Structure 1
Amino acid sequence: MDNYSDKRIYLAVEIEPGTLLRMIRNLLFLFTFLLFSEASAQFIVQGKVTDAETGDPIPFASVLLKGTTLGMNTDFEGNYSLSAKSLPDSIVVSYIGYLTQSKPLSNQAEQTLNFQLRPSDFQLEAFVFEAGENPAFEIIRKAVAKKKEFDKRSLTAYETKNYTKIEIDIDHVAEEFAQRKSVRKVTAVLDSIKQLTNDEGEKILPIFFSETLSKFYYRNNPELRKEIVEKSRVTGVGITDGSTTSQITGSVFQEYNFYKNWLSILEKDFVSPIADGWKAFYDYDLMDSVLVGQDSCYMLQVYPRREQDLAFSGTIWINKETYALKQVDLTIPKETNLNFVERIKIQQELVPTPPGPLIPSKSRIQIKIGQVTPKTAGLLAKFYTSSDSLKLNDPAPTSFFNQAVVLKPDFNTGNEEFWRANRQDPLSSEELAVLQMVDTLKRIPVIRFYTEGLKFFATGYLPVGKMDLGPWPGFFNYNNVEGIRLGVGGRTNLKFSNKWLLQGYLAYGFKDERFKYTGSVTRVLDRNRWTTMRLGSQREIEQVGLEIASLEGNSIFLAASRFGTLRRAYMSTKHELNFQREFFKGFLFSAAVNVAQFEPLYDFYYLDKDTRDYRSRFETTEARFALRYGRDEIVIINDNERVSFGPSKWPIVQLNYARGLRWLGGDITYDKLSFYLYQRLNMGMLGVSRYELDAGKVFGEVPYPILKNHLGNETLFYTSAAFNTMNLNEFASDQYLSLRYRHFFEGFLLNKIPLIKKLKWRAVANANFLYGSVQDKNVENSPNRDPNGNPLETFGSLDPYVPYVELGYGIENIFKFFRVDFFHRMTYLDNPEAKPFAVKISAQIIL
C-alpha cells in the first residue's frame, strides 16, 4: 500500500567534474556579492568651499556629515571629498570668521555640493583661565624656541620652481561713480561678457591679470635672492609693455616668512604670531587638536592684544610632535592702524625639507582697498604662489645674484596651450572670465584715455610711439629771473632701442630771453652686470645749494624752490661723460669727467689766489669716482634704467671722490671727499626709524659755491633732505658731519588714547645734527664787498665745537593724507633772521 508522505521524485543529471567546479565558484562569488554588497556600498560627496564676497577658496574649513564623526578639512584650493557607507540628511561646513552653512544631501552615489561662506562679524571671545597658565602659551613658547630649526633662512641655498598669478579688480563701485558718463560707456561694452559679481550682487570689474613661471634662487651668508622669469603673461588696463611689469609680478616680491619676527607688507612691518616677543602683542586660544594631512596639529586662534597694532588675527596650525608651523590663515583686520586697507589676508601651507626647515608650498594673499571717498570705488588684489621641484644646498656664486629679477629672452611667447600644460594649478571658470574681460576692457577707447592720462600724471611722461613726451612739470614755470618759462622734452623708450637711450628738453624764459636745455645719450653696454656709458650736456639756471642733481628725489620741494624768487641763481653750463658698472651684487662703481661753467646772476666775487684779482665767473673740470654698496638692495631694470626698491635690512653705503683739475681747463684745483650712509631700522613695537649720515671734506682753496652749502628750508613744505629751521645759504662748510634721524611711531603712542586712536593719527619725531667749519683761507677768498665797495652776499660758518641742532615732532595721517611737523631750533639762535620755531606741512599717500 502506497504511503503519500513517502513519495519522492528523483532526477538523475550527469555533470562533468570541470563544469561542476566552475558552477560552484560562480555560486560562491554570487553569494559573497549578495552578502557584502549592502555593507560595502559607498556614497561620495565632494565640492569646493569659497568666500562668498571674493570667490576665493577657503582652505582648512571644517566639512562634517551631520550627526556622524565623518569629516575633513578642505585643502588649499578649498576642495573636499568624503566617502561614507550611508548618508545623513545634511552636510555642514564651518570656519572661524565665517557663518556656518549646511546643505541637504540626496540619496545619490555621487554628488557635488559647493559652499559659499559669508564672512561673519562675530568675534570669538577669549577663554578665561581661572587657574594656571593658558595652555596655548606653552605651545607657542615651544614653537618659538624651535624657530631656528624650521626657518628656511638657515638653509645654505635652495631653488624652487614657482607659479605666480595676480588679479586686481575694482569692487564696491559707488552708484554715483557707476552713473558717470565715462563709466556707463565701459559697462555698456561689458554687458556682452559674463559679469562677475560678489555674493551681494555687486559687479566686480577686473583690470589686471598675470601669470608667471619662474625659478627662484636663495643663498645664505650673504642672504641673496634671484628670480629668473621663464614665462610671463600680463594683461591689464594701461599695461603697454610687459617687461617691467613681469619683473614685479613674480614670486620675489611675494615672500612671506612667518619665522621672521616682522613681516614687511606694503612697506609696513607686521609682527609674526611666533615672534620672539609674542606675548607683548598677542593672545591665543587653543581651539582643537586636528589631523592635517598625516600630521596631528594644534589649532590655535590668535588675535592682537590691541586692535590697532600692526598684528594678525586668525588661525595657525602647529605640529604636535615637532612644534613646526603647518598652516596659517591670518588676517590684518580693518581696525588696524592702516589707511584705505580694509583687509589683508594671508593663507599659507608649509612643507618640510629633508634637513628640516620649512618651505611654503602654497601662499595666497588678498589685499582689499576700500573706497577713498564715498563716490569712488574700491580695489581688490589677489596674489597666489605655489612652489615645487625643490633643490637644496647648491649655492650659486655671488655674481649670479647681480640682478634680482631676470627675464628670459622668450619670456612672453607662451600661448594658451603652453599655459594649460605648464601652470601648476588650472584656472577656474571665474579666472578665465577675468582674462576675457580684461582683454576687452583695455581696448575700450575711454579706458585707454584715462589710463594713459593717469600714467602721464604719475610718471611725468606720455608714451607716443617710440618716444615719451615729458616730464610735464617742466612744461611751465614762473620765477623772478625767467618770468614765464615754457618748455618741452622727451626721451626714447624700449620700442626705440634696448641699448640706446636719448633724452632731453628745451625751455625758454620770456624775461631773461634765454634758452635752456639738457640732452644726453646713454649706451647700455651690459644689462646683466648693469653697465652704461652716458654723454650729457646742460645749460640751465641753478641755485647755490639747491642744485637740480642733488634734489632729484625731492620733486615737490624742488618744484616749489624753483617757483617765485630764486636765491643766488646762476647760469650753469655742464658737459659730462659718465661710466658706471655693477661689479657684483649691490656694488656699483661710477666714474665721470665733468666740465662746468659758473655764471652768477647775482652779485658775486671771489679772490683768485694766483692773480689776487676779484673774479665773478669760474670754470671747473672735475674727475669723479663713486662706490656704492647695498648688500640686500632689490634692483630691477625698468626699460633702459636701473631702479632700486631700497634695502631690506642692511645699510646703503656710498663713497665719493672728486678732483678739480686745472690742466684740463679748470680755474681751480681742489679735492672733495664725501661719505654717505642710509639705513632703515625696525624698532619693534616702537615703530620704524630711518637715519642718514653724511660726512665730507673739501681740500684746497675754493669759492663758496664749491663748498658744501647746507640745505635749508624756507618753504612751508616739509622735506627730509633739508634742515627745516635753517635759512637757505645760511651755512657752508669745507668739512662737515651731519646726522638726520627720523622716527615713525606708527600707532605706538596714540593707539592707547581712547579718543585719538579712532582718528588713526600717528606720531613722528625728528632730530637733525650738523657739525661743520670753514678754513680761514676759504673765508678770506669770499669778500663781503665787491671792488667798488658794494656789499656782497656771502655765507655763514659753523663753530666747529658747537653743532647745529634742530628737534621736531609731529602728527601724520591727519584725514589720511596730511602731516604737520613742529621744529625747534636749539642752537645758533643769535643769527640774524634765525627762526627758533617752524611749522611745516606735507601731503602724502601712505598706508
Structure 2
Amino acid sequence: MKNKILHLLLLITTSVSAQLTLKGKVVDEFDNPLPFVNVVLQKTTHGTVTDDDGKFLLKTKKYRGILEISFVGFETQTIKVSENTKYLNIVLKEESNQLEEVVVVTRPKKRLKKKENPAYKILKEHWKRKRKLGLNLVNHYQYKKHSAIEIGLNNLDTVFLKSVFKKNYDKEIKQVKYDSDGVNYYIPVYLQETISQVYGDNKNNNVREDIKAEKEEGLGAQGFVFDRMSNTFQNVDIFRNNIRLLQKSFVSPLSSNGFATYDYVLYDSIVKNDQKLYNIYFFPRRDGDLAFQGNVWIADKNYSVRRIKMAVHKKVNLNFVRGLSFDKEFEVKNDSIYLPTKNVYDGDFTLVDKNDTNKGLTIRKTITFSDYLLDKPKPDNFYLESVEKIRPDQFKKDEEFWDKSGKIVDEDTYTLINTVKKKKKIKTITGFINTVANGYFNTGHNFQIGPFWTLFANNQVEGFRTKLGFRTFKTKDDRFRVGGHIAYGFKDKKFKYGLESRYLLSYKPRIAVGVAYQNDIEQLGSSLLNTTQLLGNTFGTTALLNRGDNFFLSKVHKIATNFDYQVKLNFHVGVNFSHSRIRSASEADFSMSYVDENGNFQSQITDVASDIYVSYTPGRFVYGLGVERRFGRNIFPTFVLNYRKGYKGPFNGTHSYDKIQFKYNHPILLGELGLLDATFEGGKTFGTVPIGLLNAIPANQSFSLVKNTFALLNYYDFVTDTYAATHLEHHFNGFIFNRIPLLKKLKLRSLVTFRAAYGSISDANRAISRSNINYNTPNDVYYEYGVGIENIGYGNLRFLRIDAIWRSNYTPPAGALVSPTPKFAIRIGIRPGL
C-alpha cells in the first residue's frame, strides 16, 4: 500500500454541469468514420478530436457558437450550434485541390493481411533501419536536456475553487488555467525542473548525464510521494519492441511484431520541406490489450520517425488511469541522423473510477533536447565518470541562471503554485495523499504517527494487540531520524516497545549508522533473511485474522547497531552487531529449551552476533537524500548475501556458530504474456544451535497472502540448518481474460504460483533440542502451487486478489502441536496495483 501511485490519488467524485454539451459523429462521403478529426468551437479554447469510430463529445460553458470541423485532405466545415443542438452527423468532403502525393486509405472494416496493407511496406523499411538511424550513426555526441515535471489537481469546478481561494476568489481565479476539456479548471501543486548535459560514447556504449541545475516548488516536501510520482514516466523508448510502463509491458506501435497487436492505416502522405512524409495511424486490435492508439509520421528515403503521438486506449485494463498520452518530435540531419527535440508525457489519474466528471491528478513531464554536438569525442574515461547528487541543495541556481537557460514552464505556473501551497484545503488534500501513501499522520512539530495498517493484530499469547508507531520527520531529506513503537496485549496485559535512531554520517561516500533497542514479541518462524532492519517487524505478530492456534512466539530483548556503506548507487555493504535474549513468549505451550555443553537444560538463548552483508539492486529508482530513502516500484533484480557470526562468551553469548544466506529476486517482463516474479534463496548454519537460531521454513497461518511464505504450513513445521527455496509467481496482466468476451468486461487478471522448499538438519542439532517442536525437514521437497484472480473490485478500487492453493503430500510428524494443515485453501491478498 505504501508505494503505489494509486494511493497517492485523493480524490472525491463530483459531477460537473456544463452549459453546452455537443455530441456527434464525423464520416466521409462513403459513410466511413473519420478518426482524429479536429472539432473546435471558434473563438474559444474549447476543442476535441474524434475517436476511432469518428465520434466526439465536447463540453463548453458557452450557450452558442460556431463549431469548426477540419481534417487534412478534407474541406473544413462550420456549423452554428446552441443549447438546442442535438446529435450532429457530419459528412466531410475531400478537397478538390489535394496534392498528388496524398493517398487516403480509410481504416478497413475487415482487417487486411500484412502484405495487402500499404502501411506494411513503409514499416518494414523502418524496421530494417531503426538500429542504424539516429544518434547510433555517430561515435560521440552531447546535448542539453531540460525537463519539467508538473503534478496538479484536474477537473476542478468553481465550487471547489471558491472553497480554496475564499475571499480572494475573484482575483485568484484569473491565474487558474482551464483543464484539457476547456470546461473545468486545473491547479498545479508541485513542479520540478532539471537541466543536465548528456554525453554519449557509442564506441564503448557509455552514457554520462551531469545535472547542471535543479529547482522545485510546491507541496513536495511533506513526503516521498511526489518524488516517486515524478518518476512515473521514465524514458519511453518507442523503438524497442516492448515499452515498460507502470510495471507493465506495452507493445510498441513500431515493434517488428506490431501487426499481431495493431491495425495500421496509411492515411495520407504529404510533401514538407522537400521531403515526403507518410502518416500512419495505428489502433489496438483488441481494446483491452496493453497497446496504444495514435499516429506516426515517417519520412521516406531513410524511413525515420519525425513525430509520433500515441495514447493508451481507455479500455486498457489499468486501474486509476484515466488517460496516458505521449508526444515525441524529432529533427533529421543529413537525411540519416534523426535527433529527439521534444517529449511530452501526460497522465490523468483518478481514485474511484474513470468517469470524465471526477476530479483527478495530472502528471505532466516535458523534456526538450537542444545544443547537439556530434563527433566531438572526449577522453574515454570521461564517459565513465559522473556528477552524483549527494545534497538536497547541490544544484540550486539563482533566477538569473534560469532566465538565461530558456523556459519550458511559464512564470505564471510558479506564481500559482506558490499561492495554492499556502491554502489550507490544498495542504489538507496533499497531506491526505501522503498519509495514504506511507501510512503516517502528520501531527505537527516534525512528528508523525503510523503506519496505520499495523495498528491492530491478534494472537494466542497477547490476545488482541494494538501497536502505535511514530517517527520524527522534518523534511524528506532529514539526516537524523528517530522512530519506534509501543504495543499492548490485552490478554497478557503487557506493554512492548522498540526505539531506533539513524544518522547519515556522510553524503559522499554515503555512510549511515543506526542503533536500536527492542523489548517485544516476534514470530521467528515467518522470515529467513534480514539485513538492515534492526527492529523486528515480522508479519506473524501483525496479522489480525489467523487459522489455528499459534503459541510459537518469542520474547526478544535486543540491542542492535548498523553501519551501512554505499559503494555506488544501489550497491551497499554493511555490518550489524546485535545482542539478543530470546525465550518463548508462552513457555507452557511452546518450549525453546535446549541442553548446554554441561548437560543443563536452558530456556533462554543469548545471541551475540555480527553480520556482514552485500546488497545489489541494479536499476532501482532511489528517492530522497536523507538517512531514510524510498525506492520506486520499477522492475529491477535484487541480490543479497549475508554472513552471520555468533560469539560464545563475550557479553554472555551462549553459542558460537556461522551462518551464510543469500536471496535473489528478479521480476521479468515477458512482453504481452505478463510478468514473472522469481525468487531464489538458500542458507546454511555451521555449528550446534537450538531452535531459536535455526532456519524455520517461512510459514503463514494468516488468511492473507504474504510474499515468499508457504500458506499451507504452520510455523515451525519445517526446521532446518540447511535450506533452499524458490517462489515463482506469474501475473498475466489480463492476457488471458482479455480474450474471453464475457470476462473481458470484468477487467480481471489471472496468475499462477509455484513455491518449493528443500532442507535438512544435522544430528547434533537434533540432539541438543528439548523443545516440544519435533524437528521435521523438507528433505523430499515440499511444494505448493496455485492459480489466482487479481484486480477484483469496483471501478478503480481493485485491491483484492484470491488464490486457490494446493500442496504436495505432507504429514506433520507424530506429536505435532497443531492440527495438520489443509491440503487445499483459499487465500485473500490486498495487492493494489495499476
Match of 1:685, SS state, is: helix
> Which of 584, 597, 619 is the matching residue for 2:581?
597
Tell me, in whole angstroms, the C-alpha distance in 1 between the residues paired with 2:414 and 2:593: 67
The equivalent of 1:569 in structure 2 is 553
Question: Identity across aligned pairs (percent)?
Answer: 24
Which runs of structure 2 are paired with 1:258-273 in the superposition (5 Å)? 258-273=238-253
> Which of 753, 766, 788 is the matching residue for 1:810?
788
The equivalent of 2:711 in structure 1 is 724
The equivalent of 1:77 in structure 2 is none
The equivalent of 1:681 in structure 2 is 668
Paired amino acid for 1:657: Y
User: Is the CA contact 2:320–2:352 (under 8 Å) kept in the aligned structure 1?
Assistant: yes
Match of 1:149, SS state, is: coil
Paired amino acid for 1:328: I
Match of 1:777, SS state, is: helix
Paired amino acid for 2:185: I
Paired amino acid for 1:578: N
Mean CA deviation greater in 285-294 or 473-482: 473-482
Tell me, in whole angstroms, the C-alpha distance in 2 between the residues paired with 1:225 and 1:244: 27
Deviation at 1:678, TM superposition (A): 0.9
Q: Does 1:337 align with 2:317?
A: yes
The equivalent of 2:185 in structure 1 is 204
The change in CA–CA distance for 1:519 and 1:143 in structure 2 (over 3 A counts) is same
The change in CA–CA distance for 1:309 and 1:663 in structure 2 (over 3 A counts) is same
Which runs of structure 2 are paired with 1:341-352 in the superposition (5 Å)? 341-351=321-331
Match of 1:812, SS state, is: strand
The change in CA–CA distance for 1:407 and 1:323 in structure 2 (over 3 A counts) is farther
The equivalent of 2:153 in structure 1 is 170
The equivalent of 1:215 in structure 2 is 196
Match of 1:145, SS state, is: helix
The equivalent of 2:833 in structure 1 is 846
User: Is the CA contact 2:528–2:696 (under 8 Å) kept in the aligned structure 1?
Assistant: no
> Which of 737, 744, 748 is the matching residue for 1:757?
744
The equivalent of 1:619 in structure 2 is 606
Q: Does 1:274 align with 2:254?
A: yes
Which runs of structure 2 are paired with 1:401-420 in the superposition (5 Å)? 409=393, 411-412=395-396, 414-415=398-399, 419-420=402-403
Paired amino acid for 2:782: Y
Deviation at 1:571, TM superposition (A): 1.5
The equivalent of 1:126 in structure 2 is 108
Paired amino acid for 1:596: S
User: Is the CA contact 2:450–2:469 (under 8 Å) kept in the aligned structure 1?
Assistant: yes
User: Is the CA contact 2:609–2:646 (under 8 Å) kept in the aligned structure 1?
Assistant: yes
User: Is the CA contact 1:161–1:213 (under 8 Å) kept in the aligned structure 2?
Assistant: no
User: Is the CA contact 2:192–2:215 (under 8 Å) kept in the aligned structure 1?
Assistant: yes
Q: Does 1:94 align with 2:76?
A: no
Deviation at 1:655, TM superposition (A): 1.1
Tell me, in whole angstroms, the C-alpha distance in 2 between the residues paired with 1:213 and 1:763: 40
Tell me, in whole angstroms, the C-alpha distance in 2 between the residues paired with 1:761 and 1:622: 48
> Which of 517, 535, 539 is the matching residue for 1:537?
517
> Which of 574, 582, 588 is the matching residue for 2:572?
588
Paired amino acid for 2:750: A
Paired amino acid for 1:699: F
The equivalent of 2:265 in structure 1 is 285
Deviation at 1:739, TM superposition (A): 0.9
Deviation at 1:460, TM superposition (A): 3.0
Deviation at 1:288, TM superposition (A): 2.3
Tell me, in whole angstroms, the C-alpha distance in 2 between the residues paired with 1:756 and 1:468: 44
> Which of 219, 226, 234 is the matching residue for 2:217?
234
Paired amino acid for 1:125: R
The equivalent of 1:578 in structure 2 is 562
The change in CA–CA distance for 1:688 and 1:56 in structure 2 (over 3 A counts) is farther
Deviation at 1:154, TM superposition (A): 8.7
User: Is the CA contact 1:244–1:637 (under 8 Å) kept in the aligned structure 2?
Assistant: no
Which runs of structure 2 are paired with 1:210-609 in the superposition (5 Å)? 210-215=191-196, 217=198, 228=211, 230-236=213-219, 239-240=220-221, 245=226, 249=230, 254-291=234-271, 295-351=275-331, 358-370=338-350, 372-373=352-353, 376-390=358-372, 394=378, 400=385, 409=393, 411-412=395-396, 414-415=398-399, 419-425=402-408, 427=410, 432=412, 434-463=413-442, 464-473=444-453, 479-482=459-462, 488-494=468-474, 498-509=478-489, 511-546=491-526, 550=530, 557=539, 560-561=542-543, 567-603=551-587, 604-609=591-596
Give CA deviations for 1:292-340 in whole Å, capped at 9, x if unaligned.
5564322211122222111111111222111222211111110222223
User: Is the CA contact 2:114–2:259 (under 8 Å) kept in the aligned structure 1?
Assistant: no
The change in CA–CA distance for 1:222 and 1:711 in structure 2 (over 3 A counts) is farther
Tell me, in whole angstroms, the C-alpha distance in 2 between the residues paired with 1:398 and 1:778: 54
Tell me, in whole angstroms, the C-alpha distance in 1 between the residues paired with 2:182 and 2:713: 57
Tell me, in whole angstroms, the C-alpha distance in 2 between the residues paired with 1:160 and 1:731: 59
Tell me, in whole angstroms, the C-alpha distance in 2 between the residues paired with 1:723 and 1:225: 44
Paired amino acid for 1:240: A
The change in CA–CA distance for 1:684 and 1:422 in structure 2 (over 3 A counts) is same
Deviation at 1:508, TM superposition (A): 4.6
> Which of 595, 606, 615 is the matching residue for 1:628?
615
Mean CA deviation greater in 141-150 or 457-466: 457-466
Deviation at 1:277, TM superposition (A): 2.2
Tell me, in whole angstroms, the C-alpha distance in 1 between the residues paired with 2:366 and 2:41: 18
Tell me, in whole angstroms, the C-alpha distance in 2 between the residues paired with 1:711 and 1:222: 43
Q: TM-score, normalization: structure 2? A: 0.77
Tell me, in whole angstroms, the C-alpha distance in 1 between the residues paired with 2:436 and 2:416: 26
Give CA deviations for 1:63-90 in whole Å, capped at 9, x if unaligned.
xxxxxxxxxxxxxxxxxxxxxxxxxxx9
User: Is the CA contact 1:318–1:324 (under 8 Å) kept in the aligned structure 2?
Assistant: yes
User: Is the CA contact 1:172–1:371 (under 8 Å) kept in the aligned structure 2?
Assistant: no
Give unpaired runs (5+ residues) of structure 2: 1-37, 50-66, 80-87, 93-104, 814-818
Whichever of the two has the greater Rg, that structure is: 1
Paired amino acid for 2:423: I
Deviation at 1:498, TM superposition (A): 4.5
Give CA deviations for 1:76-117 in whole Å, capped at 9, x if unaligned.
xxxxxxxxxxxxxx9985369xx996679xxxxxxxxxxxxx
Tell me, in whole angstroms, the C-alpha distance in 2 between the residues paired with 1:244 and 1:369: 15
Deviation at 1:52, TM superposition (A): 8.3
Match of 1:522, SS state, is: strand
* RMSD (Å) for aligned C-alpha atoms: 4.2
Q: Does 1:698 align with 2:685?
A: yes
Mean CA deviation greater in 294-303 or 149-158: 149-158
User: Is the CA contact 1:636–1:642 (under 8 Å) kept in the aligned structure 2?
Assistant: yes
Tell me, in whole angstroms, the C-alpha distance in 1 between the residues paired with 2:206 and 2:536: 31
The equivalent of 1:4 in structure 2 is none
Match of 2:665, SS state, is: strand
The equivalent of 1:78 in structure 2 is none
Give CA deviations for 1:156-175 in whole Å, capped at 9, x if unaligned.
7755432222333434459x
The change in CA–CA distance for 1:771 and 1:547 in structure 2 (over 3 A counts) is closer
Give CA deviations for 1:28-47 in whole Å, capped at 9, x if unaligned.
xxxxxxxxxxxxxxxxxxxx
Give CA deviations for 1:566-594 in whole Å, capped at 9, x if unaligned.
53122111222211112134321111222
Paired amino acid for 1:664: P
Mean CA deviation greater in 268-277 or 823-832: 823-832
Mean CA deviation greater in 774-783 or 307-316: 774-783
Deviation at 1:454, TM superposition (A): 4.2
Deviation at 1:453, TM superposition (A): 4.1
Residues matched between the structures, number: 731
Paired amino acid for 2:804: F
Tell me, in whole angstroms, the C-alpha distance in 1 between the residues paired with 2:422 and 2:713: 52
Give CA deviations for 1:624-665 in whole Å, capped at 9, x if unaligned.
11112233233233532233336646x322211111111423
> Which of 764, 769, 792 is the matching residue for 2:756?
769
The change in CA–CA distance for 1:762 and 1:470 in structure 2 (over 3 A counts) is closer
Paired amino acid for 2:645: R
RCO greater where, 1 or 2, for CA within 8 Å and sep 6 or more?
A: 2
Deviation at 1:759, TM superposition (A): 1.3
Deviation at 1:494, TM superposition (A): 4.8
Deviation at 1:407, TM superposition (A): 5.8
The change in CA–CA distance for 1:245 and 1:224 in structure 2 (over 3 A counts) is farther
The equivalent of 1:822 in structure 2 is 804
The equivalent of 1:738 in structure 2 is 725
Deviation at 1:500, TM superposition (A): 2.8
Match of 1:279, SS state, is: helix
Tell me, in whole angstroms, the C-alpha distance in 2 between the residues paired with 1:121 and 1:840: 56
